[in-house]
């Protein structure tokens, strides 16, 4: 743990080691909120947070199960479209 000092304009300077570990550079935006007992800072993600479906979620496909050969044929057809 390191101690940082609040500057006269309300700025905190994060130690270089922490910036390097997280690849934070000047201008990195952060969310900041007060929980009442502590201040929390979290970098703003450049991508929206995604929600993964639980592993037991049924697949979207509703047809009859495909054989391995049918799947390979479909892959070959799609791959041929992108040559």
Residue 34 is classified by DSSP as E
Is residue 4 a contact partner of residue 14, using CB atoms and an 8 Å limit?
yes
pLDDT tier for residue 29 given thresholds of 50, 70 and 90? very high
Q: Give the separation between CA 12 and CA 27, rounded to whole angstroms.
A: 13
Place of tokens 């979290």: 42
Residue-wise DSSP of 46-79: SSPPP-PPPTTSPPS--SPPPPHHHHHHHHHHHH
What's the confidence (pLDDT) of residue 6? 94
What's the confidence (pLDDT) of residue 30? 95
Q: Is the pLDDT of residue 21 over 90?
A: yes
Taking the model in full, what pTM does it have? 0.50
What's the confidence (pLDDT) of residue 13? 92
């Amino acid at each position: 743990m390191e101690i940082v000092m609040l500057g006269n304009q309300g700025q905190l300077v994060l130690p270089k080691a922490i910036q390097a570990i997280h690849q934070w550079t000047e201008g990195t935006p952060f969310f900041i909120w007060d929980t009442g007992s502590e201040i929390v800072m979290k970098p703003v993600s450049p991508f929206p947070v995604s929600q993964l479906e639980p592993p037991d979620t049924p697949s979207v496909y509703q047809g009859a199960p495909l054989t391995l050969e049918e799947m390979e044929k479909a892959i070959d057809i799609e791959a041929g479209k992108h040559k």
